[in-house]
Chain A
C-alpha cells in the first residue's frame, strides 16, 4: 500500500479543504469526468468536506453506464448462443438489457465468464478451438489498449474463433458535448487520470481555449481529488482556463506512446451512441478495416433488437450532470441496486449506485446523528 496511504491522510485532507474554502469567493460547479473519481468522492465524503458553493457534478465517465442498451441486448443474444464462450469484466454482468442481464443468460445455460484481462479471453479461444470466444470490450481510453492488444494478438496467432464486441468511448468529445449542451452548468473539469495515463493531455489545450474552461488532470485518491479541485478553483477565481496536471506521478503530456500507436493501428474513430445521452459525433472507436474480421457485430449479425428503456429512469440527466441521483423520482424507490432501472444504478462507478451505497438517501440530520454517534466511538 505504499504510495496510496500517503494520499489518504485525513489531516492533510482537512487542511486542503480549508485551503479551498479560503480561496473560493463565489460558487463554482466542477465536473469530475470519471466514474472512478465519482466513486472515490462519495466513498470518502470529499463533497461533504468542500465549502458550501463548490459543487461537484458527476460526469458521464462510467463505461458500464454509457454503453448503449442496443449493444447490451446484442451481448445477451450472442452470449445465449450455443458454442459461444462470452467473456466480460465483472460489472457488466448485472447491467440490465431490455429483458434480462448476463447473469440470467448464464443461469439459463449460456457460457458467460468473468475475466480480468481480455488477453485471458484470447487464451480461452486458443484452448477452445471448437468454440467462438467473444470479449465484451467496453470502456474509455483506459481499457482500450488491452482490448486492442487482444485483437492484435489474436490476429498474430491466427485465431479465427476470437472476436470483440466493442463499444469504446472517448473523453474529449464528451466534454465538448457537455459544454455545448443547452443549460450547461459546468465551469471546470477534473480530467480522468487513468485516461490521461494512456492518452497524455495533448488533446485538451484546444478544448480549454475554445470553451474557456479550466481542465485539471486529476487522480483518484482523496488528496489527489482535493488537489485537482483546489487547482480548478484557483484558475476559476483568477479567470484562467488552462490545462494543468495534478497527477504528475502517473501522467505525462505525451502519455503512453506505444499504446497510442497500437490504438491508432487497431481502432478508427466513429460516431457513438451514449446511453442516456444520445449520439455524439466522433466520440468512439471501432475496429479498423484491417481488424474488422474480429468484430463480433459483423461475425454474429444479430438482427431484430428492439430496445426499450425504463420510462421512469433519468440516467441520462444524471450522466449529463443535469440532476443529482437523489433528485430522480425513482431513486431508492422503484430503482435500487437490487432492481436497477438504469445502468447508473448497477455499476459501482455509476453515480446512482454510489449515492445509494454510501447512504446519500439519508437526510443531513440522519448523517449528522451518525457523526455524533461516531465521535462517541473514539472514547468508547
Chain B
C-alpha cells in the first residue's frame, strides 16, 4: 500500500469507516473499531481471522486454522527469535509497526546466519482501535512478508480495555534454517577483522522523532525499515566463513551494537568517525536536538565483522545490492582497549564511545 492510501486511511479511521477500494474484505459485523468481543474467542474474533488475517497472510499452514501451525523443515540447525513492537506513532514516514514486526524478526534471524522461513504474529489491541488502521497494519505485514520471502503461519489476537494499551502492540516470533558451515555470532569477532556497515545510520530513529507528538519539526527523513535477509544472503554467498559476526543495529544504534560485540568477543573496536555514512538531513536533525547519530536506531542496516582479506569483496557485494548502496568500511577490531569502542574524530583525536545509559536526552541548549 502506498503512502497516500495510508494517509487517507488515517483520516478515514476517525470518521465513518469507508472500506471501498480496500483489498481486505470487511468484517461481517460493521464495528468500525475494535471492541472487547474481538478478543473473546467468539464470532467477532473469528471474523477478524477470516476476513482480515487469513486473506492477507494466506498460506497452507495458516489455512488449517489449527491450534498450532504444522511446518515442514529440512533437518539441521534451526534458529528462533522473538521480538515485540510498541512503536509510536504506528505509522511513520517509510513504514509502520506492521513492516517493523515482520522485518525486525526476519533481520534477527538473518544476522544469526539463518534463512528466515516462518513467522508468528500476535496482536494486543486496545479497545476502540480503528479497524481501518488494523487493516492497514496487517496489509503492511503481508507485503513485508512477501518481500522477505517468509510466511506468517500462526497468530493470536487479544483485546485490552481502553487505556490499558497504546492502540496496537505486536509480537512476532520467527524460525529460520541455519546455513551449512556458517558460524557467526557476537562472540566471534577477532582482532584484525574489518567492520562494515551496510548504509547510512540513524534514519529510522530520526524519522520517528520527527513525527512524534510534541516535536514540531518537519523533515523528509524516512525510516530505513527493510528486510535484510536477501542482502545478508549475498554476503554469505560471497564470503562464507570469512564473516565472523553480524548484527542489525536497532535500539541504541551503531554505538550500542559495537560496544556489545566488543564486550562479547573480548576485543577492542576502533572506528573512524569520518567514514560513518550519515545522511545530511539526519545529521542536521541530530545537531538540532543535541543527539549523536551513532546512538540513533536503525531498522534496515547490518554491521558485518569480516576477515580483513574479505573486506573489499564484501564491500563490493553490499554496494551492488539495493539496500547496501551506501555501505562503508568504518573500522577494525583490535586487541587493544578490550571491551571498548574508540573513535578517531575528524580532528585526529580519539574518543571513547560508551554504551549509553537509557534514552538519549535532548540537551537544553
Which positions in A face B, CB cutoff 8 Å? 1, 4, 8-10, 13-14, 36, 42-46, 48-49, 63-64, 89-94, 113-117, 120, 138-140, 142-143, 194, 222, 337-338, 347-349, 356-359, 362, 366-367, 369-374, 376-378, 380
- Closest Cβ of chain B: how far from A179's Cβ, in Å? 24
CA distance A172 to B336 in the complex (A): 45
Contact B349 A44 (CB under 8 A): yes
| A63, A362, A380, most chain B CB atoms within 10 A | A380
- Closest Cβ of chain B: how far from A185's Cβ, in Å? 24
CA distance A89 to B360 in the complex (A): 12
Contact A378 B364 (CB under 8 A): no
CA distance A94 to B358 in the complex (A): 10
CA distance A324 to B74 in the complex (A): 62
Contact B361 A348 (CB under 8 A): yes
Q: Given A356-B354, A374-B342, are A45 and B361 neighbors across the interface (CB < 8 Å)?
A: no
Kindly list chain A residues whose C-beta atoms are within 8 Å of the C-beta of B308: 380
Contact A116 B364 (CB under 8 A): no
Could you list 13 examples of A-B contacts with CB < 8 Å? Answer: A8-B346, A36-B363, A44-B346, A45-B345, A49-B347, A117-B216, A142-B365, A337-B357, A349-B363, A370-B340, A373-B268, A377-B272, A380-B308
Q: Given A370-B337, A376-B334, are A138 and B364 neighbors across the interface (CB < 8 Å)?
A: yes
| A9, A42, A91, A143, most chain B CB atoms within 10 A | A91
> Looking across the interface, which residue of chain B has its beta carbon closest to that of A46?
B347
CA distance A46 to B351 in the complex (A): 11
Contact A374 B214 (CB under 8 A): no
- Closest Cβ of chain B: how far from A5's Cβ, in Å? 9
Contact B332 A115 (CB under 8 A): no
Kindly list chain B residues whose C-beta atoms are within 8 Å of the C-beta of A377: 270-272, 331-332, 344
CA distance A222 to B347 in the complex (A): 8
Kindly list chain A residues whose C-beta atoms are within 8 Å of the C-beta of B334: 373, 376
- Closest Cβ of chain B: how far from A150's Cβ, in Å? 14
- Closest Cβ of chain A: how far from B200's Cβ, in Å? 13
Contact A91 B342 (CB under 8 A): no
Contact A380 B311 (CB under 8 A): yes
Contact B365 A140 (CB under 8 A): yes
Give the size range of B's interface with the partner. 35 or more
B238 part of interface (Cβ distance < 8 Å): no
- Closest Cβ of chain B: how far from A186's Cβ, in Å? 22
B280-302 vs A: 1/0 string, CB under 8 Å? 10011001011000000000000
Q: Given A116-B289, A359-B352, are A372 and B336 neighbors across the interface (CB < 8 Å)?
A: yes
CA distance A309 to B194 in the complex (A): 47
Kindly list chain B residues whose C-beta atoms are within 8 Å of the C-beta of A45: 345, 347-351
Contact A369 B354 (CB under 8 A): no
B215 part of interface (Cβ distance < 8 Å): yes
Contact A378 B272 (CB under 8 A): yes
> Looking across the interface, which residue of chain B has its beta carbon closest to that of A358?
B351
Contact B270 A1 (CB under 8 A): no
- Closest Cβ of chain A: how far from B234's Cβ, in Å? 23
CA distance A373 to B268 in the complex (A): 9
Contact A347 B363 (CB under 8 A): yes
List 6 extra interface pairs beyond A49-B347, A94-B361, A366-B336, CB under 8 A.
A10-B274, A36-B365, A143-B365, A357-B354, A362-B352, A380-B194
Kindly list chain B residues whose C-beta atoms are within 8 Å of the C-beta of A370: 268, 270, 336-337, 340, 342, 350, 352
CA distance A370 to B336 in the complex (A): 7
Contact B349 A49 (CB under 8 A): yes
Contact of A90 among B270, B272, B345, B362 (CB under 8 A): B362
- Closest Cβ of chain B: how far from A259's Cβ, in Å? 14
Contact A380 B332 (CB under 8 A): yes
- Closest Cβ of chain B: how far from A7's Cβ, in Å? 11
| A113, A117, A358, most chain B CB atoms within 10 A | A358
CA distance A378 to B329 in the complex (A): 10
Contact B347 A373 (CB under 8 A): no
CA distance A102 to B274 in the complex (A): 36
